[in-house]
Amino acid sequence: MPGLDQSLKNKMEEISIKVSIANREYPLKIKKADEARVLKAANLINERIKEYEQQYAVSDKLDLLAMCVMQFATEFIHLSEDIPIERQSVEDSISALNSRISEYLNVKSVL
């Protein structure tokens, strides 16, 4: 499957891009497959900075970036803590479905 190998190779290929955050350009070397995510992240940061500029009397970009980092880190921790709870819920649901299927198959085989 040469086409599949080439497709995988293209996704692993590194590219150079520039992202603008808080009116400063940052050159990055990233995997081609991550380009859309990185650009989306930069856009999200810039949007959050604009929100903070409008809501608070803060004009120092470093302070605004620190506020963004704090919010994103808090959200990341919150999501990280929720993952085990959600995983257990999914595992419980799968186990319940598996039991019901097994019961159905056992009843079906008896008939």
Q: Tell me: the pLDDT tens digits for 77-106?
A: 988 887 777 777 888 888 888 888 888 888
- Choose the weakest-confidence range: 4-13, 35-44, 48-57, 102-111: 4-13
Model confidence pLDDT, tens digit, residues 67-78: 999 999 999 998
Mean pLDDT for all residues in the chain = 86
- Count how many Cα atoms sit within 13 Å of the Cα of residue 99 in the half-sphere of its side chain: 6
pLDDT confidence of residue 4: 56
Q: Half-sphere exposure (CA, 13 Å, Cβ side) for 102?
A: 6
Name the nearest CA neighbour of 11 among 34, 30, 33. Answer: 33
CA distance 17 to 25: 10
As a whole number of angstroms, the distance between CA 32 and CA 39 comes to 12
- pLDDT tens per residue, range 18-42: 999 999 999 999 999 999 999 999 9
